[in-house]
Amino acid sequence: MPALTRARIVAAAIDLIEREGADAISMRRIAADLGVGVMSLYNHVPNKAALLDAVAESVLSEIAFDDDPTAEWTERVRIQARAFRQIAHHYPRSTMVVVSRQLNSPAGLLPVERALATLREAGFDGEDAVQILRTFIAYIIGSLLREVGVTPTFAPVHRGDVQLSRVDTALFPEVGTLAPLLGVCDHEKSFEYGLDMLIRAIAVQLQESKEESARG
């Protein structure tokens, strides 16, 4: 039995969350999974909140960034956004704790640095780069939330298209008509759709600002 470590505790927590959902997590369950007394955990982690922060940080730090500096900047932005989204695939249940937790740790700083660098190289000034980054983060976080919030515990779940089919088409004509489209959601496709929209938006924005400064 290896020594009890903060890292081992965090790993056990992530494991437990992925196996049984974020609600199932408790200090006692984690300790049991590690074959250890409950209070032993507190020698390595100050409290449960800090443990969840550590979980978030750990998950976040595993994001794979294969940034290709030779690629077009629009493509680099796309790749970085996808990298962020991949945690929803590797750790679908843990994503909730990442997303619903305000973390101020260097783990979240590397992606920020990369994104800002890419945007600055593309030609955006500091203020625009920050605002654009915030917009992308909001979009990605929102997308992740849809992806994982749909499945609060488990089961593929036919997410309310049962209700959608019996919705009052007089009160909600559009919803009624588009029910087949609203009922199913290819997360990959939806994510790419919005991502593409955002990237095209900043592309034209950059173009316009360049033309403006050329005139000025």
**CA–CA separation, 164 and 35 (whole Å):** 47
Q: Is 121 strand, coil or helix?
A: helix
From 18, 20, 29, 146, residue interacting with DNA (rule: CB under 7 A): 29
- Unique residue bearing structure tokens 């990369």: 114
Closest CA to 147 of 90, 102, 201: 90
Tokens of 145: 């939330």
In the complex, what is the shortest distance from the CB of residue 137 to a copy of itself, in angstroms, rounded to a whole number?
7
Of residues 28 and 134, the one with the C-beta less far from DNA: 28
181 binds a copy of itself (CB under 8 A): yes
Q: How far apart are the first and last CA of the chain?
A: 70
15 binds DNA (CB under 7 A): no
43 binds DNA (CB under 7 A): yes
Closest CA to 91 of 58, 48, 136: 58
Tokens of 15: 């494991």
Query: Which residues lie near DNA (CB under 7 A)?
Result: 3-4, 25-29, 36-40, 42-44, 47-49
Query: Which residues lie near a copy of itself (CB under 8 A)?
Result: 96, 99-102, 104, 106, 109-110, 112-113, 116-117, 120, 126-127, 129-132, 134-135, 137-143, 145-146, 149-150, 152, 159-160, 163, 167, 171-175, 177-178, 181-182, 185, 189-190, 193-194, 197-198, 200-202, 204-205
